């Protein structure tokens, strides 16, 4: 009876053949591509109750009804006079529509009535800029502030809710045309620990 014994010199070619077969198989596999995650949707307030509504007429005639989802809103202190600047924006067709409210007399945590407000509208992508260029053409009927984070973890952030109107339009800073905000109301965020460092010429022209 003969027993089949696999000798070392026969095992080496078999091992090499296996290694080459694995290498060829690995090279034949298509590369794995990572699909980038979609960008997170903009949300005005984490609590879900941010919004902006406005009636516009003139060069831009529309009814805005922006909910919390899809709306970007920010607010900070103006370093020049201690007032605040609130900014709301949302994608509108090929560009983005931006509304900026400059309130010089609003103080941290205080409710108020009949405050003058400067309004600027920007159509990003279209190169259109409109501004009241002063706070004597629009008024906030009422303003309330609710702390977003309370004591003892206060971060000086507030939900600011306001309602107002304009008696004169925001006029084009470059070119012709005007937009009247006959009424508007909004609820957004202001961080009184942050300064708005915006220095572009549209806000300078609007004296915000």
Length reported for the chain:
208
In 3D space, the residue among 57, 49, 55, 90 whose CA is nearest the CA of residue 72 turns out to be 90
* Residue 49 three-state SS: coil
Residue 49 has pLDDT above 70, yes or no: yes
**Residue 153: per-residue pLDDT:** 57
The stretch 147-170 carries a mean pLDDT of 86
Least confident of 8-22, 44-58, 123-137: 8-22
Give the pairing of strands 72-77 and 178-195: parallel
Residue 56 has pLDDT above 80, yes or no: yes
**Residue 114: per-residue pLDDT:** 96
Least confident of 108-112, 146-150, 156-160, 203-207: 203-207
Residue 194 has pLDDT above 80, yes or no: yes
Domain ranges of the chain: 51-205
The stretch 124-150 carries a mean pLDDT of 91
Q: Which residues contact 164 (CB under 8 A, 6 or more apart)?
A: 117, 138, 139, 140, 141, 183, 184, 185
**Residue 40: per-residue pLDDT:** 63
Integer Cα distance of 74 and 77 in angstroms: 11
Q: How many CB atoms lie within 10 A of CB 15?
A: 9
Residue 33 has pLDDT above 60, yes or no: no
Q: What is the pLDDT of residues 59-98, one digit of tens each?
A: 999 999 999 999 999 999 988 777 899 999 999 877 899 9
Q: Are 140 and 167 in contact (CB under 8 A)?
A: no
């Amino acid at each position: 009876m003969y027993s089949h014994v696999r000798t070392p010199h026969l095992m080496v070619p078999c091992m090499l053949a296996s290694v080459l077969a694995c290498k060829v198989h690995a090279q034949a596999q298509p590369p794995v591509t990572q699909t980038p995650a979609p960008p997170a949707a903009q949300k005005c307030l984490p609590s879900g109750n941010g919004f902006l509504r406005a009636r516009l007429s003139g060069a831009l005639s529309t009814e805005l009804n922006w909910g919390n989802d899809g709306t970007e809103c920010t607010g900070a202190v103006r370093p020049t006079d201690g007032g605040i600047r609130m900014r709301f924006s949302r994608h509108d067709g090929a560009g983005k529509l931006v509304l900026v409210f400059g309130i010089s007399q609003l103080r941290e945590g205080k409710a108020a009535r009949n405050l003058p407000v400067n309004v600027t509208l920007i159509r990003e992508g279209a190169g259109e800029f409109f501004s009241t260029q002063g706070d004597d053409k629009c008024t906030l009927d009422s303003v309330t502030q609710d702390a977003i984070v309370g004591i003892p973890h206060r971060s000086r952030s507030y939900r600011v809710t306001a309602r107002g109107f304009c008696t004169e339009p925001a006029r084009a800073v470059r070119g012709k045309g005007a937009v009247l905000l006959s009424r508007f109301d909004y609820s957004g965020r202001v961080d009184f620990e942050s300064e708005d460092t915006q220095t572009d010429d549209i806000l300078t022209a609007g004296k915000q």
